[in-house]
Amino acid sequence: MPGQVRVAILGATGAVGAELMELLAQRQFPLAHLKLLASPRSAGTKLSFQGETLEVEAVSERSFKNIDLVLASAGGSTSKTWAPVAVAAGATVIDNSSAFRLESQVPLVIPEVNPQAAAQHLGIIANPNCTTILMAIAVWPLHRVQPVERLIAATYQSASGAGAQAMAEVKAQSQAILAGETPPTHSFPYPLAFNLFPHNSPLTDGGYCQEEMKMVNETRKIFNAPQLRISATCVRVPVLRAHSEAINLEFAEPFSVGSAREILASAPGVKLVEDWDANYFPMPIDATGKDEVLVGRIRQDLSHPCGLELWLCGDQIRKGAALNAIQIAELLLQNQWLAPQATALV
Ligand code: A2P
What is the C-alpha separation between 107 and 325, in angstroms, rounded?
13
Instruction: Say yes or no: domain 5-128+321-334 is CATH 3.40.50.720.
Output: yes
| pLDDT (tens digit per residue) in 287-306 | 999 999 999 999 999 999 99
* CA-proximal residue: ligand 1, atom 14 (nearest): 11
| pLDDT (tens digit per residue) in 44-61 | 999 999 999 999 999 999
| pLDDT of the residue at 346 | 46
Per the CB < 8 A criterion, the answer to whether 249 and 142 are in contact is yes
Pocket test for ligand 1, best of 19, 39, 81, 160 (most atoms within 8 A of CB): 39
> For 4-22, what is the mean pLDDT?
97
Q: How much distance in Å is there from the Cα of 297 to the middle of ligand 1?
A: 38
234 noted as active-site residue: no
What is the C-alpha separation between 30 and 32, in angstroms, rounded?
7
| pLDDT of the residue at 344 | 46
Q: Compute the Cα dihedral for 62, 68, 73, 77 and give only its sign.
A: positive
| pLDDT of the residue at 60 | 98
- Is the per-residue pLDDT at 263 higher than 60? yes
What is the C-alpha separation between 205 and 222, in angstroms, rounded?
24
Any atom of ligand 1 within 6 Å of the Cβ of 43: no
- Is the per-residue pLDDT at 1 higher than 90? no
Q: Which of the following is catalytic: 143, 199, 243, 313?
A: 243
Which amino acid is located at 49 in the chain? F
Where do runs of H (alpha helix) occur along 146-289? 164-178, 210-223, 257-265, 284-287
- Is the per-residue pLDDT at 345 higher than 90? no
Q: Which of the following is catalytic: 130, 143, 199, 234?
A: 130
This prediction's pTM: 0.96
Stretch(es) of the chain classified as CATH 3.30.360.10? 132-316
* CA-proximal residue: ligand 1, atom 3 (nearest): 39
Reported as type and span, the H/E element at residue 139 is: helix 130-145
243 noted as active-site residue: yes
| pLDDT (tens digit per residue) in 97-143 | 999 999 999 999 999 999 999 999 999 999 999 999 999 999 999 99
Any atom of ligand 1 within 6 Å of the Cβ of 42: yes
Any atom of ligand 1 within 6 Å of the Cβ of 161: no
Q: How much distance in Å is there from the Cα of 232 to the middle of ligand 1?
A: 28
Instruction: Name the percent of the chain lying above pLDDT 70.
Output: 98
Any atom of ligand 1 within 6 Å of the Cβ of 38: yes
What is the C-alpha separation between 187 and 299, in angstroms, rounded?
37
- Is the per-residue pLDDT at 156 higher than 80? yes
| pLDDT of the residue at 220 | 98
Which amino acid is located at 286 in the chain? D
| Relative orientation angle of helices 15-26 and 164-178, to the nearest 10 degrees | 120
State the fold for domain 132-316.
Answer: Dihydrodipicolinate Reductase; domain 2 (3.30.360)
Q: In what order do the strands lie in the sheet with 229-236?
A: 197-198, 229-236, 148-157, 243-251, 307-314, 293-300, 270-272
Stretch(es) of the chain classified as CATH 3.40.50.720? 5-128+321-334
The mean predicted confidence, pLDDT, of the chain is 96
> For 246-259, what is the mean pLDDT?
98
